[in-house]
């Protein structure tokens, strides 16, 4: 049972990374933590759209966030694992 759940978790991460915008967000977060407005400014999409992508990445366990005043700032949970995974795809 545990093994199957682990596979589901891995599949969820791959699904989250399968969208070009989310993959780009992860690549930017490899450089360090960024607040939602900073992330939004990097893409030609709306704030709600970026929030939706960040929620998918958070739900899948790729990112987490912390509150800084009235801003939400996102960071990668396991940046080195993601860096290795993305390097394999180069």
What pLDDT is stored for residue 5 in this prediction?
67
> What pTM value is reported for the model?
0.89
Handedness of CA 67, 86, 46, 32 (dihedral sign): positive
Residue 27 CB neighbour total at 10 angstroms: 12
Strand (E) or helix (H) holding 67: strand 63-68
For 7-65, write each residue's pLDDT tens digit.
888 899 999 999 999 999 999 999 999 999 999 999 988 989 999 999 999 999 999 99
Q: How confident is the model at residue 1 (pLDDT cuts 50, 70, 90)?
A: very low
Cβ neighbours of residue 45 closer than 8 Å, sequence gap 6 or more: 21
Class at the top of the CATH hierarchy for domain 2-88: mainly alpha
């Amino acid at each position: 049972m545990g093994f199957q759940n682990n596979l589901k978790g891995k599949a969820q991460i791959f699904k989250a990374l399968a969208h070009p915008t989310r993959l780009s967000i992860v690549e930017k977060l490899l450089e360090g933590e960024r607040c939602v407005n900073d992330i939004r400014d990097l893409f030609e999409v709306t704030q709600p759209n970026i929030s939706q992508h960040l929620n998918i990445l958070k739900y899948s366990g790729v990112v987490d966030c912390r509150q800084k005043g009235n801003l939400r700032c996102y960071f990668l949970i396991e940046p080195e694992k993601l860096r290795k995974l993305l390097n394999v795809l180069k």
